[in-house]
Amino acid sequence: MSTQLSAPVNRQTVSALSQSKGEPAWLEEVRTKGAELAETLEWPTPEKVRISRWNLTAIGNHKAEAAIAAVDELPETVRELAGQDQAGLVVQRNSASVLRKLSPELAAKGVIFTDLETAAREHSDLVKQYLFSAVPQDENKLTALHSAIWNGGVFLYVPKNVEVELPLQALFISDDATAAFAPRVLLVADNHSRVTYVDNVVSSYGEASAPITKQTIIEVIVKPGAHVRYATVHNMSENLVDLTIRRAVVENDGRIEWIIGDLHDGHTLSDTQSLMKGNGSSSDAKVISIGSGAQQMSLTTGAVHFGRSTESNMVTRAVMKEQATAIINGITKIEKGATKAGGFQTEKVLMLSPKARGDANPILLIDEDDVKAGHAASVGQVNPEQVYYLMSRGISRAEAERLIIYGFLAPVVSEIPVDAVREQLQRLLERKLEG
Amino acid sequence: MATHFKIDGLRAAIDGKEILKGLSLEIKGGEVHAIMGPNGTGKSTLASSLMGHPKYEVTDGEVVLNGEDVLEMAVDERARAGLFLAMQYPSEISGVTNSDFLRSAINARREEGKEISLIKFIRQMEGKMKELEMNPEFAHRYLNEGFSGGEKKRNEILQMMMLDPSIVILDEIDSGLDIDALKIVANGVNAMRSEDRGFLIITHYQRLLDYIKPDFVHVMMQGRIVKSGGPELAERLESEGYDWVKEELGIVDETVGQV
């Protein structure tokens, strides 16, 4: 049923595009290899969600974008997302990066914050060293295809011992549903550095836009003792399929914190994993999602413990409206040798309509004896006793249900450490719950 | 207008089983009525039916508050009309703070644009919490979550004080309270006694009535009021139990339906 015309992805087209952008030879080689791999590999097969039925091949065509000088030149609806006082900002519009800013203070400390295409040219060795080190290109058709077609994106490098106080921000905007939109993010936090990165993924189309699939792959490299906080909010219209893979590799005593708002209106594959390779490393993941309309979602959080004394915590809370479906997987894997590891997870789904569906699947895979692990999962509807109690104090049914639903999400929302993200998430929650 | 609350021939059922079998009672502003009775005689069903709990079906009778038909109203409308039920088992609601909840309840009684100011609300709430010897921290805790039995009961009384109802029903407010907490709760209720407010106190025990003096005492058995009197009736029930009432009225089994 696809009405989208995407140019074929093959060796020749990928190579030609890479050359036209003046990319280094190694990158062109990687891209062409990705195009070849994509022909033979299969799409990922998450539990109980058949993503192969989605419009996965409608990936759009590469289009050049004019650079902008300031956020003011963006559509009004997305302008406010850029916030104020950010230490750095990278903006991607459709197929290309259009704005890059970094405070001179951070640049002087050696922080690199730019789009990944520019970084691949200007910091080729650094990018080459880490690109694909968390998400290899040959895992499946998605990782392969993305390795061939990715555009714009973000590269962040924080040197040893540098602490970045203010959040660095990125905006990924799709406002042309015929243009390819496939950002790739690579964050490298060197030893004992500290950084918070926040991105917003939004769309702004006219009426009834053609279907399009956006692929995003995020790699985070947390070197020994470093601390990375990654907050992301996805909020796009329903014609867009959102395939996102996020993965962190955490070395000794490093820490990754994920804060994820999956508030997208279309089909969603959201897979977030932390690989705790180093001893004493830790991971915390908080995911909030609202499903509406006929959207299908596969939301997975994973924590893989390799190192000793590693700690992970994962919390997902989802509210499903109308006929929305969410399959929520939490996978805690503790490898042999990861002694004194602790892994905990909670998945909760609140269903607001009899046609909504939510499955919570907590999975513990444990190959080591000396560990602690736990999970909790629940799927339910708004409790009529609670509604009665609130109404008995004069609160209308609609308001009572609203309080209960926000209350369900509050324990996660209130823990979000970045004020601006928390407030923005709250606004979007309201829009999606009440809109 | 002087408060006037009238229950006439009320019949109510749960899961098709009739529990209230034609109960009548009239409460005027300024009056305190106590309903006493053994377990399983329909006391809590009365409270829940008056408030409009969805599980209870009223099959017959009338309930009128200040000329308005209560049974025609939804639960929230009954509350806004002036009815308040302090519940025996209040719900716990995660993620909703006590203060957000109370502010929503107060604002539900006000017109849009005339909401209570935050400062005024906080001042009121802090004042009332102090009267009830509640830890100020409870304002920011999630509604009833992790509260002890006594804390929940105090929180019910706090809501009553903040919402200023015209008819207050206290459903076993004394259960689970130690004597100090009981006195605090009773003081809270007594402070609210006024000419425009009526009280209906449902209890097993005389104990509470030592601290909240009723004007009328009613005995409930088999889903209706079987005997009424003044405060002396409560005292006699406390010292002699219910057997003499049963004997006097020829009642063998005082309970109704399920316990």
Tell whether A411 is within 8 A of chain B (Cβ): yes
Tell whether A403 is within 8 A of chain B (Cβ): yes
**Segments of chain A scoring below 70 in pLDDT:** 1-7, 83-85, 207-208
Instruction: Give the integer Cα–Cα distance in Å for B126 and B121.
Output: 8
Question: How far is B5 from chain A, CA to nearest CA, in Å?
Answer: 17
> Number of Cβ pairs closer than 8 Å across A and B?
81
In a domain, B255, yes or no: no
Residues in chain A with CB shorter than 8 Å from the CB of B47 are none
Tell whether A386 is within 8 A of chain B (Cβ): yes
Measure the CA angle with vertex A371, ends A367 and A376; round to 5°. Answer: 95
Measure the CA angle with vertex A285, ends A282 and A288; round to 5°. Answer: 175
Please report the pLDDT score of residue A377 as a whole number.
94
Phi, psi of B188 (to 5 degrees): -60, -45
Please report the pLDDT score of residue A7 as a whole number.
64
Q: Do β-strands B93-97 and B142-143 pair in parallel, antiparallel, or remain unpaired? A: antiparallel
Find the domain containing B57 and state its range: 4-249
Residues in chain A with CB shorter than 8 Å from the CB of B93 are 386, 389-390, 403-404, 407
Contact B95 A408 (CB under 8 A): yes
In a domain, B257, yes or no: no
**Segments of chain B scoring below 50 in pLDDT:** 259
Exposed/middle/buried for residue B234 (C-beta within 10 Å: 0-12, 13-18, 19+): buried
In a domain, B259, yes or no: no
Q: Taking the complete model, does pTM exceed 0.90, yes or no?
A: no
> A126 in helix, strand or coil?
helix
Exposed/middle/buried for residue B139 (C-beta within 10 Å: 0-12, 13-18, 19+): middle
Please report the pLDDT score of residue A209 as a whole number.
78
Contact B85 A392 (CB under 8 A): yes
Strand partners, A248: A220, A274
What amino acid is encoded at B95 in this protein? G
Strand partners, A184: A217
Q: How many domains does chain B have?
A: 1
The residue of chain B nearest to residue A403, with distances taken between CA atoms, is B96
In a domain, B126, yes or no: yes
* pLDDT tens, position by position, A63-78: 889 999 888 888 877 7
Residue A126 CB: number of other CB atoms within 10 A? 16
Please report the pLDDT score of residue A39 as a whole number.
92
Q: Do β-strands A282-291 and A311-320 pair in parallel, antiparallel, or remain unpaired? A: parallel
CA A290 from centroid of its chain's CA atoms: 15
Residue A273 CB: number of other CB atoms within 10 A? 22
* pLDDT tens, position by position, A71-103: 888 887 778 777 666 789 999 999 999 999 999
The residue of chain B nearest to residue A387, with distances taken between CA atoms, is B91
Please, what sign has the CA dihedral across residues B202, B208, B214, B219?
A: positive
Tell whether B75 is within 8 A of chain A (Cβ): yes
Measure the CA angle with vertex A268, ends A381 and A414; round to 5°. Answer: 55
Tell me the two tokens of residue A18: 């890479």
Residues in chain A with CB shorter than 8 Å from the CB of B79 are 391-395
The domain limits of chain A are 11-278, 383-434
Instruction: Give the integer Cα–Cα distance in Å for A106 and A129.
Output: 22
Contact B104 A403 (CB under 8 A): yes
In a domain, B125, yes or no: yes
Strand partners, A330: A301, A362
> A86 in helix, strand or coil?
coil
Please report the pLDDT score of residue B259 as a whole number.
43
Candidates A319, A312, A326; CA nearest to A270 is A326
Sheet holding B83-86, edge to edge: B83-86, B167-171, B198-203, B32-36, B216-221, B224-229
Its ipTM equals: 0.96
Question: How far is A435 from chain B, CA to nearest CA, in Å?
Answer: 21
CB contact residues (below 8 A), chain A span 166-225, against chain B = none
DSSP E strand stretches across B38-161: 56-65, 68-69, 83-86, 93-97, 142-143
* CATH of residue B114: 3.40.50.300
Please report the pLDDT score of residue A2 as a whole number.
41
Phi, psi of B119 (to 5 degrees): -65, -45
Sequence-ordered list of residues with C-beta below 8 angstroms from that of A176, at least 6 positions apart, any chain: A63, A94, A205
Structure letter (DSSP) for residue A119: H
Residue to substitute from B70, B75, B102, B140, interface A, most A β-carbons within 10 A: B75
